[in-house]
Amino acid sequence: MTSYYVELVFYMESPFSVEQEAHFDEVAEVLANLADVDGDVGVDAGAGRVELCMTLEAADRAEALRLAFSAARTAVHTAGGATHGWDGWLDRLLESDNYRSSVIPSALV
């Protein structure tokens, strides 16, 4: 197993409302408390950008991305966000211009 640093960046409608910003704070709190994930959330409300950053152990980069996406879904759901429709969402996001991800060994960060 290798330790990976994963960033999931979403560009959404901007600017965010106060309620949306509060939700992302709750998502950050959940990510910080998930087992086997060291995570945080960064938000640029004016630009409509959300960055979920995580360090986790995985066999390879593809597994690291899948695990990070699963952790993100868990955090959003636990924080009260809607996660219906997330099945198969990663494949669609990888083709979207409103999403980017990076996965690198954490030793290189």
- What are 40-97's pLDDT values in tens digits? 999 998 888 999 999 999 999 999 999 999 999 999 999 988 777 677 766 777 777 8
For the stretch 11-33, pLDDT in tens is 887 787 888 888 999 999 999 99
DSSP assignment string, 26-45: HHHHHHHHSTTEEEEEEEET
pTM summary value: 0.87
Q: Is 33 part of any domain? A: yes
Question: How confident is the model at residue 108, as a pLDDT?
Answer: 95
Tokens of 82: 């809607």
Has residue 109 been placed in a domain? no
Domain total in the chain: 1
Is 48 within the bounds of a domain?
yes
Distance of CA 76 to the CA centre of its chain: 9
Does the residue 96 lie in any domain?
yes
Residue 15 structural domain: 2-104
CATH number for the domain that contains residue 41: 3.30.70
